[in-house]
Chains A and B, each alone.
Chain A
Amino acid sequence: MSNLEVWDGTISQKDFYVAARTLVERWKQVNPSLPQWTWIPSKSTLMGSSCKEEGYLSLENMFHIDRNEECLIVDSFSEREETDDVATLVHSTSNETHIYDFHIVYSFSYKVPVLYFHGYQSDGQPLSMDEIENDLPPSSSKILRESKWTYMTLGEHPYVRRPWYTLHPCATSDWMKLLLGGTSMKDLDISSYLLSWLSVVGQAIGLRIPLELQQSSNSSSSRRGATKSPTGTEAVEARSGQ
């Protein structure tokens, strides 16, 4: 590929690995109090030959806490009261916690990153599409409703091998090309690819993306889109410490 060629918005698997390392580092600097992105190397390779670049990024246990009372007792089980046990603490209310896991997987077909995610209640029950949408800040719901690139669907996670929600990647290269401006291959800082990508995708799914993630990166790329105010601050716990 010539250096002068106009970049088409895609990246190679090796570049994905490089960009993933950058994201992990930047996230750690900017969000030390949140769960961390980690690189999960794949043991069984998708493409036949195994190499260190094969794997995916994982961010697990992001919490979304509601103050609602839990309601999950489902049917009339012959209920025998346990002997009053004074040594057990009985909560009057409990928080309903939704837990989200996010994975970024490289798509060999589209040559772009693909977001896979799933959410579940604190007992492990997976969240339905409706429940996920309820957790999203209004700005994200709007993006999901109105943007054509955010087609959310249930698809098999290529590594976990179970259906996870995913944002279909077939427009990703187009908007990445827009986002990083008609950069030629030569000027492209591929290591910042995922930071830019996440700044867009994160908005759609309410994943809080701190501005600093983009701003203090030394990317030479255009900041269009990346400097939009982050949405979804309420969606995912962002408190540090206590």
Chain B
Amino acid sequence: MASSPSPSSPSLNSGSVLQFDRFQSLVDVGFWHRLSSLKLDTLGIDQSPITLVGFFAPHSRAQVSNHLTLLSESLPTAPIDHASSIETNLGNRNRCPVPGILYNTNTLEEFKELDRDNLLQIEANKILEDIRLGKVEEDSTLLLRFLVISYADLKTWSFRYLFAFPALVIDPPATLMSLQPATQMLTAEEAESLSAACNEWRSSSLTAGIPFFIVSINSDSQATLRPLKDWESCQGDQNKLLFGFYDPCHLKTNPGWPLRNFLTFICLRWKLQKVRFFCYRERLGLANLDVSLIGDALISIPTDFTEPQYIPKVVGWERIGNRLALRCISLAESMDPQRLAASAADLNLKLMTWRAVPSLNIDVLQTAKCLLLGVGTLGCQVARTLLGWGVRKLTLVDSGRVSMSNPVRQSLYTFDDCLNGGRLKAEAAARNLKAIFPAMETEGIVMAIPMPGHPIPAQETASVLEDCKHLQALIASHDVVFLLTDTRESRWLPTLFCSHENKILINAALGFDSYLVMRHGAGPNVSTPDNNLECRDDGTAAVLMNELSLKDVGAKRRLGCYFCSDVVAPIDSTSNRTLDQQCTVTRPGLAPIAASLAVELMANILNHPDRIYAPGEIASSITGNSAQPLGLMPHQIRGTISLFSQMTLLGYSSSSCTACSETVLSEFRNRGMDFVLQAINHPTYLEDLTGLTELKQAAGSFELDWDDETDDDAEIQ
């Protein structure tokens, strides 16, 4: 509890100027929330002053002065706001209400140009008038009127503000004759009685919110607290009178700010020149007369104060030391819904690392730049699943428009996107992703992917070449490419470029009730980061590897691409039926399944130390848990809904591949876009180049199709 008072304190300098400790302000975050919604929902650009209720209480904690506090309840209730759960208690002993006024400007310039002298003067005049007209006796909190100027920048969620606690200046200033702990100035009996009276005053809801009062102590040492309006009746009996106030100040040497206008009031209204005041302070919710102070002040009001037209001098802008306490508070972290959405989305991923997969690298996913080629049924679903993994940078390539049939299957589009001929898919998808999650950095690129077997009219050659270069640049500038187009031949050029740039490519293709999801291997003639072994094509025909040698060989052999297992070059042909040529009629559940697998495959690759070089694994080659945090690292996943079955497959690169073989790549590296144009314009060129023509002749009518594959874990080549 309180230590014994120190009567020899050097601060008790009798006869000096009475100095008041400034009021300090505290604004709860809830106030700014309420002001923001009031501004947005109700006030608009209206800049009329707003009535406030501030709250304060007597000092109660060691070393700390109580502040005048603004809470969300300080503002008038906005009809739309149901969020508040804090109740406004009349008679809450810790929330003595004080009237205030807020000037909130619409711009920073207006805020800076506010005539602060004038605003303060207006409040001072009100206080003086309230004293003169006797309003203060009825409502003593009028002596504590305060003023706030602010500029609420709702775009950046920052708020500038400055408080003023207007105090009338009297000249000469009041003189302090003595200031002592209350227990030093009272007999023990008086102190006990005063404590009890104060506790009663503070615990009654009728009086707890009244910060100024008269203490009357009779000859029997019995103290009573009286409201100011009882002044007349306090006269005449021979009781000792003290003028009490809730003192927010913690200093032993000075009274707090509320006394200042109170003294002026007492002197002006009741014509007293010598005032014994009582700085009421508490500990643990009870009156404490060791920390409360009693002092004597001499005050004389210059006669001009009483003249009706007198304009009082005023001080009171909140200061720290000598400088204005202009404050800027930024609440972007707690108010900006975009930031809140981003941190909430991150939370789920972080929780995953916490319990399920501690070694998961989320950063590599969040920073991965993903390129989606095709934004149809698969593309939409891949994008959505990438959102879930925290991927933020997406580039979406598509040349089509959203048609009326799309939104029911393509989950990024809505009916509105189909109207008026339909929005461009790339742009609609980019925009809608941002609508789902504003932290997304998306870009839509409207471009058709040039395809072999679709000869280009001479006049369009230049623009197709541009597209080719653009596509190559896009692939070069991204980390992961998703190949989600709906024709086989449109997959050729991206496969070639990814092979050339050695980019991770994930391919998904749909049949009516079956799907294929695969990752392409590294390009030819690229050193692996680990063992410096050169990845090279294995020209031999398909070999079924046993499990022991699989890993060994896999580390040295490149994984195949989409075209490695084909014996025909991509051409515009309907005789060569592959999965994706039927994709307009797929079971609706297929695309989400395949898209999810594609994204999960990406997550595994990016979390694998060897990334694109990670050897292919098949389910039966791994017993128990995989060494990698997210489990198996398959090459191909193939599933059939009609059987509700799914399997992992492994296939190595083929030296006859039309898209990723050394032959094709070296030709492309030598001849560049000329090679590309030739492949596009001459259907048999690629087959001739890679020796597929020969192979086909040798094998007769042999043709391999996905639908013929039934062996589990078979290698396909």
Contacts and interface: CB of A to CB of B under 8 A. Distances in A.
B673 interface: no
B327 A72 contact: yes
Contacts of B29: 118, 120, 124, 126, 162
A74 interface: yes
Given A44-B85, A162-B334, A77 B25 contact: no
A240 B24 contact: no
B327 A123 contact: yes
A126 to B, nearest CB: 6
A89 B254 contact: yes
A88 interface: yes
B62 interface: yes
21 contacts: A73-B320, A73-B324, A74-B160, A74-B326, A78-B112, A80-B117, A82-B317, A86-B19, A87-B167, A89-B22, A90-B319, A120-B28, A123-B24, A123-B25, A124-B25, A124-B26, A124-B29, A124-B70, A159-B85, A168-B347, A170-B351
A218 interface: no
Contacts of B334: 126, 154, 162-163
Given A95-B63, A154-B333, A160-B85, A242 B325 contact: no
Given A82-B319, A86-B19, 20 more contacts: A33-B284, A74-B326, A77-B326, A87-B18, A87-B19, A88-B22, A95-B63, A123-B25, A123-B325, A123-B327, A124-B27, A124-B29, A148-B355, A151-B350, A151-B351, A154-B334, A156-B340, A163-B340, A170-B355, A241-B3
A80 to B, nearest CB: 8
Interface string A111-140: 000000010101111101000000000000
B323 A123 contact: no
A52 interface: no
A70 B85 contact: no
A106 to B, nearest CB: 15
B274 interface: no
B325 A125 contact: no
Contacts of A153: 343, 347, 350
A160 B33 CA distance: 11
Nearest to A34: B284
B327 A241 contact: no
A43 B83 CA distance: 11
A77 B85 contact: no
B30 A162 contact: yes
A178 interface: no
Contacts, number: 161
Interface size class of A (residues with CB under 8 A): 35 or more
Nearest to A81: B322
A74 B328 contact: yes
A94 interface: yes
B283 interface: yes
A83 B327 CA distance: 22
A241 B1 contact: yes
Given A126-B29, A240-B1, A151 B354 contact: yes
Interface of A: 32-33, 42-44, 61, 63, 65, 70, 72-75, 77-83, 85-92, 94-95, 97, 118, 120, 122-126, 128, 148, 151, 153-156, 159-163, 168, 170-171, 237, 239-242
Contacts of A148: 354-355, 358
B320 A239 contact: no
B571 interface: no
Contacts of B31: 124
Tell me whether chain B's interface is mostly helix, strand or loop, or mixed: mixed
A97 B117 CA distance: 30
Interface of B: 1-3, 17-22, 24-31, 33, 61-64, 67, 69-70, 82-87, 112, 117, 160, 162, 167, 169, 173-174, 251, 254, 260, 283-284, 290-291, 313, 315, 317, 319-329, 331, 333-334, 340, 343-344, 347, 350-351, 354-355, 358
Given A123-B25, A162-B334, A91 B112 contact: no
B28 A86 contact: no
Contacts of A70: 320
Contacts of B21: 89
Given A87-B260, A120-B29, A124-B28, A79 B324 contact: yes
A95 to B, nearest CB: 7
Contact of A61 (B61, B112, B260, B313): B61
B703 to A, nearest CB: 54
Contacts of A94: 320-321
B6 to A, nearest CB: 11
Contacts of A73: 320, 323-326
A32 B284 contact: yes
Contacts of B117: 80
A86 B173 contact: yes
A240 B162 CA distance: 34
B85 A88 contact: no
Contacts of A95: 63-64
Contacts of B173: 86-87
A83 to B, nearest CB: 7
Nearest to B249: A89
Nearest to A71: B320
Nearest to B315: A85
A21 to B, nearest CB: 20
